[in-house]
Structure 1
């Protein structure tokens, strides 16, 4: 399991930077949701169990980014990795 603390993220750019770092996305990661989808479906394998700590704070500061991240991870689980466990705490 990997725990990613998103409580101090205040912009979508910061969120993408943190995701790039934590998931070891390549240097050319585009820092947008299309690039995120491309990365998780073809460039890297994300962990089987992910916990996002500070989720309420993220949704307070970056609501659209938080919702998009959750939507894409739900889609990824449905299409590619039914065993993926994602927690939002």
Structure 2
């Protein structure tokens, strides 16, 4: 399991930076949702269990980013890893 703390994120760029660092994306990561999808489906191997800590903060301060992250991880689970678990705390 990998824990990603988003409790201090205040914008989408900060969210992408936190995700890129935690998931070890390459330096050329594009910092947008299409690039996030490309990274998790072809550039890096993400763990089978992600715990996103600070979810309420993220949802309140960066609602679009929170929604996009959840949608993208749900899509990843459906299309690639049925046993993948994303936990939002």
The answer to whether TM tops 0.5 is: yes
User: Would you say how many aligned residue pairs link Structure 1 and Structure 2?
Assistant: 89
Please, which runs of 5 or more residues in structure 2 have no aligned partner? Answer: none
CA deviation digits over 1:32-87, x for unaligned, max 9?
00000000010001111100011000000000000000000000000000000110
Aligned position for 2:24: 24
Q: Which runs of 4+ in 1 moved over 3 A?
A: none
User: TM-score, with normalisation over the residues of structure 2?
Assistant: 0.98
Alpha-carbon RMSD: 0.4
Please, which runs of 5 or more residues in structure 1 have no aligned partner? Answer: none
User: TM-score, with normalisation over the residues of structure 1?
Assistant: 0.98
